[in-house]
Chains A and B, each alone.
Chain A
Amino acid sequence: MPDALGAALLIARKDLAIEFRTRTAFFSAVVFALLGIVIFFFAWDPTAVAAVDLAPGVLWVIFTFSGLLGLHRSFGVELADRAIDGLLGAPIPRESIYLGKAMANLVFVIAVQVIAIPAIALFYDMPLGGRVLALAGIALLAAIGLVAVGTLFAAMAVNTRLGELLLPMLSLPFFVPIVIPAAQATARLFAGRPVAESMGWLKILLAYDIVFVAACMMAFPHTIEE
């Protein structure tokens, strides 16, 4: 369906253009991530636990929380002047709206990571070295799963009485099978183990992505029916 994909790309471009011009959500997510990285460091006794052992856990906790900041904005921008009606009225499949929103969110989450990961490497003395590519792979797999579920829940949460409060409550249990494999694989990576040792974890991430991208895309039209 080239048309559906084209429409999705158009929606993603629209969302990213809004974000690029205002940059409010992006900067707050980046500052939040940096703050989190710094504060987490003081939550442990550095003489008892080595910073490099904390880094993978901190990385993925920050990843989910800063991701949530971007996700909420994704449908929040459509609330003003009921802009969502314009999207719903457009002669495009509902799945395109979901896909476009998810793609914009994916770019957002990855952009935050591009700043947060080197910051963690810097503050926690993590040897990035030749592991950048492997880490980027893990981050991409994790980001796809996070965005797939988060985009759907953001669309739901925005219409409820609790609004943004509901999004983390619904999403965080769903991020457990992302955070555990990603943190485990990252920890092995930084312990100097070969990537092959983390293949089991990466397969869980991949399976999660496939299942939840498909399921959320099928579920999305049910969340925006009139």
Chain B
Amino acid sequence: MTDLTVSHGQDGSATARVAEPTFGWLFVVAVLGVIATYIRAIYFTPLEALQGPAQKIYYVHPTSAAVAFMAFGVVALTSIGYLWMKDMRLDRLAESAAEVGVVFTTVTLITGSLWGKPVWGTWWTWDARLTLTLFLWFIYVGYLILRGAIEDHGMRARYSAVLGILGALLIPFIHLSVYLFRTLHPMPIIFKPSRPSLPNDMLETFLLALGSFTLLFIALLRARYRLATDEAALEAEEGP
């Protein structure tokens, strides 16, 4: 077992450490926050006049999308960081963020679809934002498949960093071309130049949702990162 302590280097390869719980207190807090968001959104926030209960998605769907964008931002930044500093920890962080981001993108797509049926009358439409989200999902699922297809750690880290950076560069181009193609999606209600145009208690619920989802994102990212670190430690222990 002595070789457990051998394998930390400048490249940040795994260090042996006492097993920490993958899901910690932060995860518990985040889940409680999400539960509180749901309770407030369902019981303590007024119904929207036109859409009725369907509008409740507003507390899950845009927040998931925002978190997915945060996650892919982390992928881009850690990818740049990796190519610059060659620190394996950044690679593991990128991997973790991509996985969590794909989960939240999936939630965004599914909840959007559920809302689209009653309000737009269709599960799917080729609106600019829907298309962009779908392609985001494709890019980062491809990113995860690429990671799965390479054995060598250094090569996997370099290749996925390249894809992580190019993927971030691609997003504005896809956005621009599908936006010019056509758009139907509701326009921004909160993040726009003028004042947010929704009642205060809805805004408060939305902000609560955004906060709790962000916390959930951080908790999941941390848990996934710990898992990646443990995996690397295990592989180092088992030898080359």
Chain A interface helix/strand/loop/mixed: helix
Known: A152-B166, A212-B169. 14 other contacts (CB 8 A): A156-B159, A156-B163, A160-B159, A162-B149, A166-B146, A170-B146, A172-B138, A176-B178, A177-B177, A204-B177, A207-B173, A215-B169, A219-B166, A223-B159
Distance from B56 Cβ to chain A, minimum over Cβ atoms (Å): 32
Q: Is B139 an interface residue (CB 8 A)?
A: yes
Q: Residue of A at shortest CB range from B143? A: A170
Contact of B150 among A160, A170, A204, A211 (CB under 8 A): A160
Most chain A CB within 10 A, of B158, B174, B177, B181, is at B177
Instruction: Determine the chain A residues whose CB is within 8 A of the CB of B149 once the complex forms.
Output: 160-162, 166
Q: A173–B180 Cα gap in the complex (Å)? A: 17
A interface residues, Cβ below 8 angstroms from B: 149, 152, 156, 159-162, 166, 169-170, 172-174, 176-177, 180-181, 184, 200-201, 204, 207-208, 211-212, 215-216, 219, 222-223, 225
- Beta-carbon contact of A204 and B176 below 8 Å: yes
Q: A160–B170 Cα gap in the complex (Å)? A: 23
Q: A216–B170 Cα gap in the complex (Å)? A: 12
Q: Is B196 an interface residue (CB 8 A)?
A: no
8 closest A-B pairs by beta carbon, nearest first, are A177-B173, A160-B149, A180-B177, A162-B149, A219-B162, A177-B177, A161-B149, A173-B138
Q: A160–B144 Cα gap in the complex (Å)? A: 13
Instruction: Determine the chain A residues whose CB is within 8 A of the CB of B151 once the complex forms.
Output: 161
- Beta-carbon contact of A176 and B174 below 8 Å: yes
Instruction: Determine the chain B residues whose CB is within 8 A of the CB of A149 once the complex forms.
Output: 166
Q: A207–B169 Cα gap in the complex (Å)? A: 12
